[in-house]
Amino acid sequence: MIRYLLRNKKNKKKTKSGIILTNGSDEFIRCEVVAHGDGLFTHTGDRIPMTVKVGSEVMIYISHLGDQKTVKIDDAEYTLIRESEIAMIKQ
């Protein structure tokens, strides 16, 4: 599988330095990577591993979400996305 399982995090309204986020801050979702697949396989059988590691924080622009899937596991809601839908990574 070439998707990431993400747990949505609460969007911040203020940065650590005190800057208040207003317009545009609702255009993205902050998430934590909970799990991911093995990666892609080339036509020769070589594996291309996933780029983002478990535990990393990522940002996804809502307008770029294409084939978004929401799943519920143990009363918690998660999002399944492709690697190409990740806009930014905080590792």
Q: What is the mean pLDDT of the chain?
A: 82
pLDDT at 77: 85
Q: What is the pLDDT of residues 28-72, one digit of tens each?
A: 788 999 999 888 899 999 999 999 999 999 988 776 565 567 888
State the pTM of this model. 0.74
The structural domains of the chain, ordered by start, are 3-90 (2.30.33.40)
The two three-digit tokens of residue 57, written as one number: 């924080």
DSSP string, 12-65: PSB-TT-PBP-TTGGGEEEEEEEEE---EE-TTS-EE--SSPTT-EEEEEGGG-
Residue whose token pair is 């809601």: 77
- Strands ordered across the beta sheet of 76-82: 69-73, 76-82, 3-8, 28-36, 57-61, 88-90
